[in-house]
Amino acid sequence: MTLFRQFIVRALRRDPARGLVTVAGLTLGVAVVVAIRLANTASVRGFETALDVVAGRTSLEIVGAGVGVPEEQLAGMGWLRGYGRVSPVIDRTARLETADGAGHRLRVLGVDVLRDRPFREYRLLRFSRQGRAPRPRELLDVLLDPASIVLTERFARRHGIDVGAPVRLVAGDAAHEMVVRGLLLDEGPARVVDGRLALLDIAAAQWRFDGLGRVDRVEIQLFEAADIDDVERAIAARLPAGLRVQRPAQRGRQVERMLAAFHFNLTALSYIALIVGLFLVYNTVAVSVISRRTEIGVLRALGATRRLVLGLFLGEAAVLAALGAALGAPAGWGLARAAVRLTSTTVNTLWVTSQATVPPLGAADVALAGAVAIPLALAAAALPAAEAAGVTPIAAVRGADGGTGRGRFPRRAALAAAGLFGAGAWLSTLEAVGGLPVFGLGAALAVVFGAAALVPVLLEGLRRRGRAVLAGRFRIEGLLAHANLSAAVSRLAVSVAALVVSLAMLAAIAILVGSFRETVAYWVGQTLRADLFVAVADGGPRGASAGVSEAAERRIASHPAVVAVDGFGSVDLPYGPGGDLIILGAGRFDVLLEHGALLFKAPADGRAAMRGAIGADAVAVSESFAVKHRAAVGDRIELDTPQGPRAFRVAAVYFDYSSDRGIVVMEEKTFARHYGPRRPGGLTVYLVPDADPDTVRDELLAAAGAGHRLFIRTNRTLRAEVLRIFDATFAITYALQAIAIVVAILGVAATLLTLVLERRRELAVLRLVGAGRAQIRRMVVIEAAMIGLLSQAVGLAVGIVLSLILIYVINVQSFGWTIQFHLPIGFLAQSTVLIAVTTALAGLYPARVASQVAAGVER
């Protein structure tokens, strides 16, 4: 231990720059891993907390097929009370407008107060001031008036609302005047969803949300919770067709599965930054070993065992990794908060509506950071540490001259690269595992490591071919830079490989995102044909609390400029043995066929197929549904309906990029026949050719009246919105990559510093025979820029291969989308220049150190 302090800790203190660069790199790497983990947990947890809170003490729940539980069926289910207390619930997301006109999205629960009391605690501010809970009668009084609403103390305080204040609840396109009749204490449920919770009486909620005769689910609190499995089976056996019983947590699991692919891919990305950080550890320990060969020799001569020497240097790596983990965990927490702000937009837009909050950093997270970073750092340090342990006392004390300026062709590396590329090609042909692109990522990883193995081969190529070019272009500094790089091929290979890996990932992601964006833009251009898009104001793009009212639709349809109106409504429906939540949509096929457009994947004449689906039990499915659930045209798929499972023929498969969950669309009348009538959540409006969409939009909004809230987007703004959401979705991937590149460039700087320190003696000779400081600086900066350019060249080539895997394997396995390959040449050219400049800049510090070596000879 004393020896460790004297030999390693003091040395690190003497040369803090080296240690700091490594710790900084590791910190960033660990931070990214922790951040993505926390952010992923946050987005699922956000939903789960909301779920837990709302579920209260519910043990089981009964749900219908997409459209809730009909009350008439409920009437015949009195037997449920033999198992426990039963409470029907309406559970929606709606918009609440305060007096100042500001709108807020809230979770709105409609409950039967008297039946629901055992399920959830309702602690109202008013009564708690009196030191008691509300009596049933009092609670009933609070909610009985259909205009009553209960908010949370936290929400009310934040927006300056008091009991008795008027608010407007927007449900569908109607805004209802309500009065705040009570405030829930800032504890339990109210607190975890950040106060965004409102209570209504169930009847009022059914009425407001256009759901008379139906409840969203029925919750059951068992008398004997221990028998839950038996009871679940018993209830399932007695339930009428179209209903199913499940645990509340099931919904959380569905959401988790829905997000699994997205999270899996983010996690895989985050590890790249860490891997790049590990290259730094290798570097640092390698420098340590090289610059101290003589000292190691002395230690060995004085009786230090190989094992002790090995331990010293592994210890150095462990200390650095521990520091990186300790700093990286809190940094990751900070990053996660930023990431959640970015991804929650994505997750909310694409998947679920939930309030994502990053859980506080726990000891477990710090421990995990250490558990990931330390073993990996030890693995990274193993090679140089073993080199140190191999130092013989004599060789070290003699100070044997290193550097021959010659290298053999790295045949083993070339073979390894070929093998890894082959493995990548093979892995990319394997199927997904449980919806996750495990082998696809394996293929990507094989290509990445193949690229890393290729680096020494390419460096050797540069060594053999580059001298004349460099010496010709940059004269003596170029010659020296080439000579230095050539002599350090094996030492450089590691950090260049790290840079190549992160640059390849950047190029691949740029190509993927660029291709995806082009594809989506094309798709939007082809399929968004309507002039106006009408949505209700309260919900997100899906899951509006109620649809567009018939009155509103009539008003729109009667506008003289309107030619046709299509309605699209959707419900979430569990599908298949896994119960994956798919989107079941209903639309007006005749309007779509006459005015709109879909891009069909199959059959060739998709329009005829759609026409044939009208009036039949037939559906069109999105590409991602077809890929994930292996459905082809002509197949019959089984969907849950309120009457039990029904088979539907797949008439067509169409391209869609709005959701990776899989969409099944049926004609509106087919939907109504099986699921009952339902107002569409949005309308698409086609105008006469010479109408000005903005004018019509303004006129429609003006005609809607004060009590109505509609969002109407023109074709142009919706297209822009689609691309805006798209860009926000991928912002985080760029952020991750930027971090990986920063770490990699730090690595290059650290390597150059290593080389400079190794070459002190040669630098002194150079200075002696007349090299000016500026010449030395130029030499090192040229080395840095060469490393940058070479890495970028390899990175681009490998990036293109990786992007093919991302687009044609990983994307298809995760999301089931067809993406047209497109090379974003402008971006790639810019990044190439940027990388060359940045790496050259990264060379400035080592260049300064090098230029300060005094002229002379060391003996």
Partner 1 sequence: MYRGPMPALQARDLHKRYGDGESAVDAVRGISLELAAGEFVAVVGPSGCGKSTLLQLCGGMDRPTAGTVAVDGVDLAGLDDEALTALRRDRVGFVFQFFNLLPTLTLAENIALPLLLAGVPRGAGLARAEEGARRVGLAHRLEHYPARVSGGELQRAAVARALVHRPALVIADEPTGNLDSDNGGRVLSLLLELNRETGVAVLLATHDQALAAAADRVLRLRDGAEAGRPAVGVRVGAVTET
Chain residues in the site for partner 1 (CB under 8 A): 401-406, 471-472, 475-476, 479-480, 483-484, 486-487, 761-762, 765-775, 854-857, 859
As measured in angstroms, the least distance from the Cβ of 728 to partner 1 is 50
**CA-CA distance, 243 to 221, in Å (whole number)?**
18
DSSP 661: S
User: Alpha helices of 569-629 — where are they, by DSSP H?
Assistant: 589-595, 606-613, 623-628
List the Cα angle 247/252/253 in 5-degree steps: 85
- Phi, psi dihedrals of residue 627, rounded to the nearest 5°: -70, -50
Surface-to-core class of residue 793, CB atoms within 10 Å of its CB (0-12 exposed, 13-18 middle, 19+ buried): middle
**CA-CA distance, 796 to 811, in Å (whole number)?**
20
Nearer to partner 1, 132 or 473 (CB): 473
Nearer to partner 1, 257 or 773 (CB): 773
As measured in angstroms, the least distance from the Cβ of 494 to partner 1 is 19
Sign of torsion, CA 440 443 448 449? positive
Nearer to partner 1, 737 or 751 (CB): 751
Q: Is the peptide bond before 88 cis (omega within 30 degrees of 0)?
A: no
As measured in angstroms, the least distance from the Cβ of 439 to partner 1 is 44
**CA-CA distance, 401 to 380, in Å (whole number)?**
26
Nearer to partner 1, 400 or 551 (CB): 400
User: Alpha helices of 244-305 — where are they, by DSSP H?
Assistant: 249-291, 293-301
As measured in angstroms, the least distance from the Cβ of 470 to partner 1 is 11
Strands 618-622 and 644-654: parallel
Nearer to partner 1, 268 or 492 (CB): 492
The answer to whether the CB of 177 falls within 8 A of the CB of 168 is: yes
**CA-CA distance, 775 to 176, in Å (whole number)?**
77
CB atoms within 10 A of CB 560: 9
The answer to whether the CB of 376 falls within 8 A of the CB of 322 is: no
Nearer to partner 1, 2 or 404 (CB): 404
As measured in angstroms, the least distance from the Cβ of 853 to partner 1 is 12
As measured in angstroms, the least distance from the Cβ of 764 to partner 1 is 8
As measured in angstroms, the least distance from the Cβ of 496 to partner 1 is 17
Nearer to partner 1, 483 or 530 (CB): 483
Locate the DSSP E strands across 497-544: 532-536
Nearer to partner 1, 738 or 774 (CB): 774
**CA-CA distance, 635 to 518, in Å (whole number)?**
31
As measured in angstroms, the least distance from the Cβ of 487 to partner 1 is 4
As measured in angstroms, the least distance from the Cβ of 317 to partner 1 is 29
**CA-CA distance, 714 to 692, in Å (whole number)?**
10
Nearer to partner 1, 590 or 762 (CB): 762
As measured in angstroms, the least distance from the Cβ of 45 to partner 1 is 56
Tokens describing residue 653:
């498969």
Nearer to partner 1, 212 or 769 (CB): 769
Nearer to partner 1, 318 or 779 (CB): 779
Q: How many residues does the chain have?
A: 859
End-to-end C-alpha distance for the chain, whole angstroms: 32
What residues contact 272, with CB distance under 8 A and at least 6 apart?
501, 502, 505, 736, 737, 740
